[in-house]
Structure 1
Amino acid sequence: VGDLIGRGIYGSVRRAVDRKTGDILAVKSILRTKVDENAIKDECDALQVLCGHHPNFPLKLMVYEDSPLLKSEVTHIVTDIYTGGTLIQAIAQRGLFDEGDWCVFANQLLGAVSFMHSLGVAHRDLKPDNIMLKEPWSPKPGAIPTLKIIDFGSATFCLAHETMKGHVGTKFFSAPEVLRRKPYTKKCDVWSVGVLLMVLLKGYP
């Protein structure tokens, strides 16, 4: 495990190298003392059903916990790493998206959410910071990078017409019913994608 990529309230993400293959990976380390165990389980289970089955989700997945001898109570989630930065960084670097690029990204995001929902997974925190570009954006015309949805820390499983409760996610991208703390469905992700796509066109939610 090597350089720190990011740090949050509940843990950190570091760069790592697979000693057998030489592949560069991302390791998300979660402090179990600060996060509900059911939330960690939902995150791991969601990634388990998504990884390797759709181009807009991580390809690889490994989950392990530190040895009890270390007394660290940390769960590590290992996925492939992406070099293109986040969507919010892409906006900062390139400015607002033109209609052609916007349509390609909209198609990727809506297709990914449709696939995710078909497997009963609700992400519940879709925003530019949780969408990464698989590779750097080439200046060549028509060279649109693949988007990758990350950070399933707020994810849960939900049947087609089942409702959820509780305010999770990020304020500016949350559906009205979530903010009002009313029952909501997986459609909350569709609202978030709509706001996200507006940001790509306008620069703000």
Structure 2
Amino acid sequence: VLRTLGSGASCKVKLGLDTETGRKVAIKIMNDNMDQREKELIQTEVQAMQNLKNHANVIQQIEFGTDQYKKDSGKKKEVSYIVLELALGGELFDFVANSGRFKEPIARYYFKQFMEGLDYCHSHGITHRDLKPENLLLDHQFILKIADFGFAAPVEGRDGSGYLVSKLGTLNYMAPEIHLKQPYQGRSVDLFAAAIILFIMVAQHPPFTTAQPQDPFYRCLAANR
């Protein structure tokens, strides 16, 4: 472990070095005070990524397990960890925020990569359900990578019906059927979020706040005005 890259509610992300290959990796080290819900999300992420291997536009899971971790204080403790492909280019969100709206060729370039990665996920039976610019990472060559599969679910639904019912995701990117608490198809809600992301790429702001009738901008779009 070389240094800390960031931290969240359930884990810390460290920069690591594979001493056998010399490859730098990202290591998510889980907090030992996670609640049951957070543990379930980690398990969901691990299981989803085990089915998503070897695509250039999906972040790769290299290893998952438990081991002894030496803290800065010198003390050791047993932790769960996920070793991931490193994406040093940061989030697409920051790229858009700092660089400004994308010109059409650049937006096409990144959206094509995004769609290829998403199609790969769907064709392998996984729907993401939390697509947003913060979960699209860029590697050192600025290749886009879909990441953070904590809300992933089977495309065919939990019961094989093709529909899901849990209200999960990020409010601003949720499809209207999720807001209405209706059963929804994972592919459809992923594509809805993807369209919002494309709008943000070219406009540097979202098309509306939430996909609900009380949002005036969404109401205009829904009415095709």
TM-score range, shorter chain: 0.7 to 0.9
Instruction: Confirm whether residue 183 of structure 1 aligns to residue 183 of structure 2.
Output: yes
Deviation at 1:179, TM superposition (A): 2.3
Hey, what's the Cα distance between the residues in 2 that align with 1:124 and 1:5? Answer: 25
Instruction: Confirm whether residue 132 of structure 1 aligns to residue 137 of structure 2.
Output: yes
**1:152 partner SS:** coil
Report sequence identity in percent: 30
Aligned mate of 2:156, from 156, 159, 178: 159
- Within a 5 Å distance, the mapping from 1:53-92 to structure 2 comes to 54-66=55-67, 72=78, 74-92=79-97
Structure 2 equivalent of residue 139 of structure 1: none
- Within a 5 Å distance, the mapping from 1:187-198 to structure 2 comes to 187-198=188-199
Structure 1 equivalent of residue 45 of structure 2: 43
Residue by residue over 1:86-125, the C-alpha shift from the partner in whole angstroms, topping out at 9 and shown as x without a partner, is 1111112221000111111121111211111111101111
Seen in structure 2, the aligned counterparts of structure 1 residues 2 and 163 have a Cα distance that, compared at 3 Å, is: same
Structure 2: give runs of 5+ residues left out of the alignment.
69-75, 207-225
Deviation at 1:129, TM superposition (A): 0.7
Task: From the CA coordinates, give the structure whose radius of gyration is larger.
Answer: 2
| TM norm structure 2 | 0.78
Seen in structure 2, the aligned counterparts of structure 1 residues 35 and 25 have a Cα distance that, compared at 3 Å, is: farther
Which 10-residue stretch deviates more, 191-200 or 29-38?
29-38
Seen in structure 2, the aligned counterparts of structure 1 residues 154 and 106 have a Cα distance that, compared at 3 Å, is: same
Structure 2 equivalent of residue 109 of structure 1: 114
Deviation at 1:66, TM superposition (A): 3.5
Hey, what's the Cα distance between the residues in 2 that align with 1:35 and 1:122? Answer: 22
Hey, what's the Cα distance between the residues in 1 that align with 2:36 and 2:53? Answer: 22
Hey, what's the Cα distance between the residues in 1 that align with 2:61 and 2:130? Answer: 21
Q: Is the 8 A contact 2:6 2:13 kept in 1?
A: yes
Deviation at 1:204, TM superposition (A): 1.2
Deviation at 1:158, TM superposition (A): 2.8
Structure 1: give runs of 5+ residues left out of the alignment.
137-144
- Look up the equivalent residue of 2:183 and give its one-letter code: P
Instruction: Confirm whether residue 147 of structure 1 aligns to residue 152 of structure 2.
Output: no
Superposition RMSD in Å:
2.0
- Look up the equivalent residue of 1:185 and give its one-letter code: Q
Deviation at 1:17, TM superposition (A): 0.8
Hey, what's the Cα distance between the residues in 2 that align with 1:65 and 1:30? Answer: 10
Deviation at 1:29, TM superposition (A): 2.1
User: Which aligned segments of 4 or more residues in structure 1 are displaced greater than 4 angstroms?
Assistant: none
**2:106 partner SS:** helix
- Look up the equivalent residue of 1:61 and give its one-letter code: I
**1:50 partner SS:** coil
Structure 2 equivalent of residue 120 of structure 1: 125
Q: Which has the higher contact order (CA 8 A, sep 6+)?
A: 1
Deviation at 1:60, TM superposition (A): 4.8
Deviation at 1:39, TM superposition (A): 3.0
**1:201 partner SS:** helix
**2:47 partner SS:** helix
Deviation at 1:146, TM superposition (A): 1.4
Deviation at 1:38, TM superposition (A): 4.0
- Look up the equivalent residue of 2:132 and give its one-letter code: K
| TM norm structure 1 | 0.85
